[in-house]
Structures are given as C-alpha cells and as structure tokens.
Amino acid sequence: MLRKLVHFNWVQFVAMVALIALGTVAIWSAGSAREGAAFHAMWAVNLRTATLGLALYFAIAFTDYRKYLTLVAPPAYLAALVLLVAVLAVGSEIYGGRRWLWFFQPSEIAKLCVIAFFAELFGSAEPLFKGRTGWRGFVVAALVVGLPCALILAEPDLGTALTLVPAVLVMMLAAGVWRKGLAVILLVVAILGAALLGAVYEAEKPGVEPETRAKIVRCLPLRPHQVKRVKTFLFPASDPMGAGYNLRQAMISIGSGGFAGKGLGKGETNHLKYLPPSVSMNDFIFCVWAEETGFVGSLALLALFAALCLSGTWIAYVAADGRGRLLALGVSTLVFAHVYVNIAMSVGLVPITGLPLPFISSGRTFLLTVMAGLGLTQSIALHREIQT
C-alpha cells in the first residue's frame, strides 16, 4: 500500500476536491434563487453525492485498473447499450427528450463504458489495426462509438454525443489507428461542418424569402430546435427576447462580474431571475460563478480544470501499458470537452447545447461518472510499475 502511495497523483486529487467544494458553493448560490426547498437543499445533495463519489474513487483507484478493463469493460459496454435502449422505450420525458431512466441518466454512464471498452479493445490489439489493415481499426472504432452515439442522439442529446466523439478520436490517434485515413475523414467532417453553418446562415440571414428558407432547412440534417440554436449562435441579436434570451443573459452575467465579482450569493442576474432558474444550476452555472467571483474566480476555476486535465495527460504518459495510456487520455479528453463546450457556449463561441460543467453543475449521475473515471486514471498512476 505504501509503495503505491508514492505514485499517488496529488495534483489530480487536490484539483478534484477543490472543484467539488467550489461546485457546492455555486450550486448553493444558484439554488437559492429558485423556489422550493428541494432546490435550496441541492447543495447538500451534491455534497452527499460527492462523498459517495469519493468512496467510489478510492475503491477504484486502489484496485488494478486492468481488472476493470478485462473483466468489467466488455459487459459494461453491452449493459450501457441495453440501458440506452431502455431509456428510449420507458424513460421519463423531460423538456422534450427521453434521457432519464428512473433516477439516473444512462447516457452519462455510457460515455465512461465506451471509453473503458475502447481502451481494452485497442490497447490490447494495437498491431491488428496498424499498417495496411489500419482501416479495419477505424471500422471497428466507428461501430463501437457509433452504436451508443446513435442511441443517445435518438433521445435526443446531441451535446452528450459530441463530447464522446473527441475522446474516442484522441484515443484512436494515440493508438496509431489509420492516422492518414483519419486525417482525411476529419478534414471532410470539418468541411461539412462549415458547409452546414453556411447553409444555416444563408437560410436565416435577414431578407431571405420564406420559400428559400424552407427549401434550405428541409435539406439540413438538423431538427427545428437545433436549427434555432445554430441561428442564435450565428445571429445572437436576432431574437434577444426569444431564442437568444439565455445567451444574452449569460453574457450579461459574466460581463457584470468584473474583476473581483459581486460576492458569493449576490449575483443580481441570477437572483433577479434574468438568467432563467431552470438552467442556472446546470448548463449556465458558470455564468453564476463568473458574476459572483469575477475574472479572478473564473481564472481560478479554469486553472483547476487545467490541472485536472494535465494530470490525466501525465498519467497517460507514465502508464505501464497501452490500455492505461488510452484510458487516461480518453477520460481526460472527455472532461476537457465538457469544460470547453459548457464555457464556450456561455460566451457565444459555440452553439448552445445542454452540457453540464464537471463538478460545478448539479447532477448526481454525471458527478459519480466523472469521479469513477478519475478513479480509473488514479489507478493507472498507482499501478504503473506493475508490468503486464
């Protein structure tokens, strides 16, 4: 035990605990602006969930991660697919989407299951997917990530699917899977993405005839609410009291915080409910934090996230085997993707999508999933001298 503790990654652990503490404060402040005792006590729920998460974190960290990957990852991946099908069939419908199965979100658990299964598959069989046969690795990877992503998109939950894709892409690049072909595919995807934005721009720009707009929109692979979100991203001032209201209030909240903020619990945009209470505790909680702690608090938050992600990259670098390297990179990229997309949408850099900010947004399933993932990366650090 003492020998393992020498390799304990304290940077990751301290950053995680600090983020949990800041998240509890942010949830307390955001929840105090909502009506109902349940919301006022949400910070306590978050604290209890984090306590359970710490127990899960240490239990996973001090067990060799190879046991999880060999014995648990394959059946967990299959179980995740079953749960994703079940949520579509009997899940609770909230805000037009089926994402909840009883008291948890299968899509959050599925992300970690996919990453673990991918690490086990490609970390153990790298030679089979390199060289002239590298395209086979891409096909296998596309199937592994494509099945759960298709089910998540059917909920619909575009944001969750989009955070899983970069994690798998980084793992594929690290595994050396068909890099030339992958580069070409990424270039094609980038071109198609730019074309999609251009099409929405042409359809929604001022002065376009309704018939022309309808023709363009019919050809887009987007649902009406997704087109509206892209329009808000391209033309944030087009509907300030409608589709663009949340973004407008989010940016006002962040800007009004100034250098040092207005003080914890004193954010006017939040407490006067200009920032809709329905999103202030999750998707837009960074706005609450930025208004109350200002540039200083926002910078501290970003520094902690940077420490968390960089520690995961370091763990990948010193990992004892390919499976550990891929797993650490996958978990770190997933956390980074959530942080980037959540904060970027709050300041208008990407279209608005419903994604929680790790450790800061309220959400029990996501918090436990992220802590379990970090427990796996800590296990990689602790067992790095044990060769396979």
Which of the four pLDDT bands, split at 50, 70 and 90, describes residue 251? Answer: confident
- Which is more confident, 339 or 204? 339
Structure tokens at 46: 């978050």
Q: Is 75 helix (H, G, I), strand (E, B) or coil?
A: helix
Q: For 161-199, what is each residue's pLDDT tens digit? A: 888 889 988 998 888 777 777 788 888 888 988 888 888
Give the span between the Cα atoms of 142 and 177, in whole angstroms. 12
pLDDT higher than threshold 90 for residue 213: no
Name which of 245, 293, 275, 244 is nearest 33 in CA terms. 275
Largest CA distance in the chain: 72
- What is the C-alpha separation between 342 and 241, in angstroms, rounded? 22
pLDDT in tens, 2-23: 556 777 899 999 999 999 999 9
CB 153 within 8 A of CB 145: no
CB count in 10 Å sphere of residue 246: 21
Give me the pLDDT at residue 175, please. 82
For the purposes of burial, counting CB atoms within 10 Å of the CB of 20, is it exposed (0-12), middle (13-18) or buried (19 or more)? Answer: buried
pLDDT over threshold 90, residue 380: yes
pLDDT band of 368, cuts 50, 70, 90: very high
CB 131 within 8 A of CB 158: no
pLDDT digits (tens, 9 = 90+) for 117-153: 999 988 876 566 665 556 777 888 888 888 998 888 8
Checking if the pLDDT of 97 tops 70, the result is no
Q: How many CB atoms lie within 10 A of CB 94?
A: 9
Alpha carbons 60 and 15: distance in angstroms, whole number? 18
What's the pLDDT tens digit per position in 54-85?
A: 999 999 999 999 999 999 999 999 999 999 99
Contacts of 170 (CB under 8 A, 6+ apart): 329, 330, 333
Mean pLDDT of the chain: 84
**Tokens standing for residue 113:** 């299951």
Q: What is the pLDDT of residue 314?
A: 95
Distances in whole angstroms, Cα of residue 299 to Cα of each of 27, 140, 167, 304, 352: 18, 40, 25, 9, 22
Say which range, 207-221, 229-243, 308-322, has the weakest mean pLDDT: 229-243
Q: Model's pTM, two decimal places? A: 0.88
Closest CA relative to residue 139, chosen from 80, 183, 76, 181: 181
- From CA 230, how far away is CA 237, in angstroms rounded? 13
Q: Decide which of 61 and 237 is more confident.
A: 61
Residue 339 has pLDDT above 90, yes or no: yes
Statement: residue 52 has pLDDT above 60: yes
Whether pLDDT at 310 is above 60: yes
Distance CA 270, CA 32 (A): 9
> 362 is written with which tokens?
């309220």
What ranges do the domains of the chain cover?
2-362
pLDDT at 298: 93
Residues 6+ apart with CB under 8 A from 86: 101, 106
